[in-house]
Amino acid sequence: MAHADDYNDAMPETTPPGGGSGAGPSGGGAAGDGSPRPLTIDRHARLYRDNHYVYPVLSRRARGISVGINLNPDTICNFDCVYCQVDRRTPPAVRTVDEDRLRDELRATLVEFRSGALFDRPEFAAVPAALRVLRDITFAGDGEPPSYPNFTGMVRDAIRIKQEEGFPGLKVILLTNATLIDRPRVKEAMRLIDDDGGEHWLKLDAGTEAYYHTVDRTTIPFVKVLANILEAARRRPIVVQSLFMRLHGQPPPPEEVAAYCERLRAILDGGGGIRLVQVYTVARPPAESWVAPLADAEVDAIAAEVRRQVPEVVVEPYYSDRAGD
């Protein structure tokens, strides 16, 4: 799943392999003089320097450095979210995963962090000392990570590499739209993450079938997503990620927010565990021009309603610097 104003904040690239303007398949790029731009949260390029698959970023949710792994450089996704920031109009520079290269990129990125060389990079030089903490390795990127055929193998490799490089306690996180997590091979990968102390962050952007199809634009039935989320939550506490926005100038109606809260309640009543609910809004330019971020007060109001209707869960709101655009 391409996401998309969710877990990670932007890392601009420099000149991409083979030259060019410096704008990769997900946007970002260099400053006008060709130098890398400092970290901000309104760009989310998936290319870091010459890397194709691994990208360190400053994460607003992790409150530190997160290392992203992109298993979907072809940008194919089974959702077509109206808020997604992935550029699917420009042909991607890389379409397949070179697993040897991915492993090398991950190892090199961890070595850069451990040595401090990462913060010698112009992009990271201004990161405050309090945020110079490596928080996680997250499978996210430009599509739905579990759709990659060797997803289990790449999870196993990520766990092995971070242990070999001296980060045994570093969490591995799966960011997913929950459409494929009922498949046996994906369940195996999720068990590996569980056994290593990692987390699963599952998307839930709606309370009703109609709103779900409006926002996520997929042929996959909402009931399947809900069933998969419940099954996953029964096996371990999950993080629920929910993006709310303005559509054609209108925020989600109160009845939609109420239905969303009922979905959270159903997970708990069904024996599932929720570690955290993240309520957030659009932070980067979305796929559709008629999508806009909520104001801070509107995000707070949704978070407050979740706390009121589902007091058992912890809720964290995240805002957009673009709300005044």
Residue 67 has pLDDT above 90, yes or no: yes
Q: pLDDT digits over 126-146, tens only?
A: 999 999 999 999 999 899 999
Q: pLDDT digits over 213-261, tens only?
A: 999 999 999 999 999 999 999 999 999 999 999 999 999 999 999 999 9
Q: Using an 8 Å Cβ cutoff, are 240 and 204 in contact? A: yes
pLDDT-based confidence at residue 38 (cuts at 50, 70, 90): low
Q: Using an 8 Å Cβ cutoff, are 10 and 57 in contact? A: yes
pLDDT-based confidence at residue 91 (cuts at 50, 70, 90): confident
Instruction: Tell me what pLDDT residue 23 has.
Output: 30
Instruction: Tell me what pLDDT residue 60 has.
Output: 77
Instruction: Tell me what pLDDT residue 41 has.
Output: 41
Q: pLDDT digits over 283-322, tens only?
A: 889 999 999 999 999 999 999 999 999 999 999 999 987 5
Among 204, 173, 176, residue whose Cα is nearest residue 310: 204
Q: Is 0.75 surpassed by the pTM of this model? A: yes
What CA–CA distance (Å, rounded) separates 66 from 85?
A: 19
More confident residue, 169 or 26: 169
Range from 140-144, 193-197, 212-216, 276-280 carrying the lowest mean pLDDT: 140-144
Indicate the helix (H) or strand (E) that contains 296.
Answer: helix 296-309
Residue 10 has pLDDT above 90, yes or no: no
16-23 average pLDDT score: 31
All domains of the chain in start order, with CATH:
54-317 (3.20.20.70)
The single-letter code of the amino acid at 194 is D
Among 179, 131, 27, residue whose Cα is nearest residue 88: 27
Q: 11-25 burial, b for 16+ CB within 10 Å, e for fewer?
A: bbbbbbeeeeebbbb
Backbone φ, ψ for residue 214 (5° rounding):
-65, -40
Among 318, 306, 213, residue whose Cα is nearest residue 254: 306
Residue 26 has pLDDT above 50, yes or no: no
Instruction: Tell me what pLDDT residue 50 has.
Output: 87
Q: Using an 8 Å Cβ cutoff, are 234 and 198 in contact? A: no
3-state secondary structure of 163: helix
Instruction: Tell me what pLDDT residue 32 has.
Output: 45
Instruction: Tell me what pLDDT residue 323 has.
Output: 54
Rounded to the nearest angstrom, the gap between the alpha carbon of residue 307 and the centroid of all alpha carbons in its chain is 23
pLDDT-based confidence at residue 37 (cuts at 50, 70, 90): low
Give the number of other CB atoms < 10 A from CB of residue 165.
17
Among 124, 120, 217, 125, residue whose Cα is nearest residue 177: 217
Residue 34 has pLDDT above 60, yes or no: no
105-114 average pLDDT score: 97
Residue 44 has pLDDT above 60, yes or no: no
